Structure 1
Amino acid sequence: MDLIPKPDQVVSAASNVAHKVFYGGLADLRPMPRTLIDDGTLREVYHYRPAAKVLEQGDPVLLVTPLAAPALCFDLRRGCSLVEHLVSEGRPTYLVEYGQVSFKDRNLGMEHWIEEVLPTAIREVSAHAGGRPVHVIGWSLGGIFSLLAAADNTDLPIGSLSIVGSPFDVSLVPLVAPLRPLLNLTSGRGAITRAYQAFGGAPKPLVKWAFQLSSVQKLVTKPIALATHLDDPDFLAQVEAVDRFMDNMIAYPGRSFGQLYHRFVKENGLVDGTFETGDRTIRLSDITAPVLVFGGAGDGIAPVPAVRAVVPLLSGSEEVRFEIVPGGHLGMLTGRAARNTTWAVLDEWISQWSTAPDPAATASDSPGDDGEGDEGAIGTGRRTHRSTTSRSLAR
């Protein structure tokens, strides 16, 4: 809105404020309909129902949420929902989330997600989609878990991996780097360690605060941004949707939070591409599936250099591709520009590494079918080459 608003801007702003007051908001927050197909300890796997008059066919996509963040990250609001986009394109779309974390889950470590939750979810999705390979998309910590699960289980039916905003070198994260020498002075007996041990993890308010801290400038300037965009209903709707996302943060289990804090933050344990679990070492170099890596141009939680650090660690992958896209940590995934940047690259990548459609299944399926008859042989129609590319879509 202009410093001296034009008449049409005043009318639009008044309409938006009235809509907010009388109807509660401008954003269409209806969730995409879904069906539970598998569940277990902190594991819920959902299949999103096909869109009306759209034929669901081809390889399935599995969306992997990070710990502590709600699945709203993939289904923020209508028009800015990756789920809505994938379903409208006819892709069999699935999601794994973890439900509410409680004190009884305090002893669960990251091994639970790497060794049990994600491998089971990938296999269940493949089976539900007729035995097809699964294209895994993980955001933030969900991307780290996806890579570690793929490295630890090289026989999983994975067609490709897409990693969005996942930092592998925390020494390159400006918010964390200055603190690491101080954190290491306590030898594991500092206030943070004592706090998460006492509470059985990181509580929801702390998780929300930490996420907000990464974009403190936006938080401080938010009232000004709202005042200057009162005539922009799409901007206001996005703010509403992000606020709802923030209000639905989930607690971290105690042991998992401890591993993240000590191994990832204090020790920068992923920088060499390995993760110690039990009596063995998981190595990212064991991943053979093609990997697409996204860095957000404005990401304060996972800056581009911290994310790009994973590329040389994926030496065994059939192809590694690195893309820089506009947006912060959440915006790069589901911001207003994501449709023409991140999502467009994802569409191209998944199509490149998808198996050939089964003509018989295509002919027999009808719009709205659940996809059970959609079958295909793993590897059919796949390119065999390896290269590393990097480009920027940031504007």
Structure 2
Amino acid sequence: MTWVADAAENVRDRVLRGGVADLRPMPRTLIDKGPNRFVYRFSAYPGGDPGGDPVLLVPPLAAPSLCFDLRRGCSVAEHLVDRGRRLYLVDYGTVSFSDRRLGLEHWIDEVLPRTVRAVSADAGGAPVHVVAWCLGGILSLLTHADRPDLPIASITTVAAPIDMTAIPLIAPIKPLADLTNGWILTPVYRLLGGAPRALVKRAFQLSAFDKLVTKPYAILSHLDDRDYLAQLEAVDRFTDNMIAYPGRTFGQMYHRFFRANDLAEGEVDFGGRRISLREVKAPVLVIAGTGDGIAPQRAVRKLVDVLNNAAEVRFETAPGGHLGVLAGRGARTTTWAYVDDFLDTHAGLS
């Protein structure tokens, strides 16, 4: 009877109140902005006094920054604020056709350096500890490698793949792309000005196709589990808010990362300008998801091999898919614990 009562309450809230998840964003204040850059400081809890060095959350391109603030009770931001961290977030805003000429250099040269400096200045000049997801981790590492003068104290990457040959979704397509010299996608993204948000959304959903197909059954079998249903709602909101890739950025990722697999050797060429991840000197925490189809363990672990000049490199695995390893229910006791321990070691709390 308890199952029936709990299920009935959840169904009632989904129908009459629009859902069971608490999707309120964590309170934040805008401290800096510029092209493709909105930098926020999260508010401390009433009476709280954040200590230690600032922590900056860096999302990937094309994914909304709410990946770090999925829902109350399963929010990376809420967790870190609750731990007393001085927490910040960069949001890239929306991407339009007018942004089609922006390349990865824009984020490496402008967006992330200006963000790091703004966060450090707001925190009284303290060094910044970066916590980044997926491509956000790769861009953060490339930025630090290219700009060692930036006040970056440590970098945590979650689900950041650099060896594209280790990604099952890509491996079958690569020979055809090589055979046609990349022609398959090039005309498409040039015509559209990038990868449209609808396409990005579908690609993300297809990466977990088995879960997409079994979703109706999963909902029915978990009607009494409020936390489970709340997570599904939060993930649906996340995928509904995907963002487009700028054309030139998508082209660079396609040709340099996907086809040439440059990052697997730790270097990438931007028109004659090479950036090497072997120039990264700060401590780095690398986390991979055991069920991640977009960034499998082997694709992520390759970072350990190329970061051989970093002060420290830790490698950890945690349950979950691409988003789940960062913001899934299991991440609360795995990934977040690794991040806490790493920050306690390198940032600490005053």
TM range (shorter): over 0.9
Structure 1: give runs of 5+ residues left out of the alignment. Answer: 1-6, 358-395
Determine if contact 1:123/1:157 at 8 Å carries over to the other structure: yes
Determine if contact 2:85/2:349 at 8 Å carries over to the other structure: no
Structure 2 counterpart of 1:290: 283
Structure 2 counterpart of 1:251: 244
1:309 partner SS: helix
Distance in 2 (CA, whole Å) between partners of 1:338 and 1:52 is 26
Distance in 2 (CA, whole Å) between partners of 1:348 and 1:86 is 12
Please give the per-residue CA displacement for 1:283-336, whole angstroms capped at 9, x wherever unaligned: 111111000000001101000010001101001100000000111110111111
Deviates more, 1:337-346 or 1:105-114: 337-346
Q: Does 1:273 align with 2:266?
A: yes
Aligned residues: 350
Q: Percent identity?
A: 59
1:310 partner SS: helix
Distance in 2 (CA, whole Å) between partners of 1:324 and 1:266 is 27
Q: Larger C-alpha radius of gyration, 1 or 2?
A: 1
Structure 1 counterpart of 2:112: 118
Q: Does 1:215 align with 2:197?
A: no
2:3 counterpart (5, 9, 17):
9
How far residue 25 of structure 1 moved from its aligned partner, in angstroms, is 0.3
Structure 2 counterpart of 1:180: 174
Determine if contact 1:67/1:252 at 8 Å carries over to the other structure: yes
Amino acid at match of 1:31: P
1:76 partner SS: coil
Distance in 2 (CA, whole Å) between partners of 1:274 and 1:343 is 29
How far residue 39 of structure 1 moved from its aligned partner, in angstroms, is 1.0
How far residue 56 of structure 1 moved from its aligned partner, in angstroms, is 1.0
1:136 partner SS: strand
2:339 partner SS: helix
Structure 1 counterpart of 2:94: 100
Structure 1 counterpart of 2:198: 205
How far residue 188 of structure 1 moved from its aligned partner, in angstroms, is 2.9
Distance in 2 (CA, whole Å) between partners of 1:72 and 1:152 is 28
How far residue 54 of structure 1 moved from its aligned partner, in angstroms, is 1.7
**TM-score (normalised: structure 1):** 0.87
Determine if contact 1:296/1:332 at 8 Å carries over to the other structure: yes
2:263 partner SS: coil
Q: Does 1:84 align with 2:84?
A: no
Determine if contact 1:54/1:88 at 8 Å carries over to the other structure: no
Determine if contact 2:159/2:322 at 8 Å carries over to the other structure: yes
Amino acid at match of 1:204: R
4+ runs deviating over 6 angstroms: none
Distance in 2 (CA, whole Å) between partners of 1:349 and 1:268 is 29
Structure-to-structure mapping, 1:45-84, within 5 angstroms:
45-84=39-78
Structure 2 counterpart of 1:131: 125
1:349 partner SS: helix
Amino acid at match of 1:91: R
Larger helix proportion, structure 1 or 2?
Answer: 2
Determine if contact 2:51/2:349 at 8 Å carries over to the other structure: no
How big is the alpha-carbon RMSD for the aligned residues of Structure 1 and Structure 2?
1.0
How far residue 279 of structure 1 moved from its aligned partner, in angstroms, is 3.9
Structure 2 counterpart of 1:154: 148
Amino acid at match of 2:68: F
**TM-score (normalised: structure 2):** 0.98
Q: Does 1:232 align with 2:232?
A: no
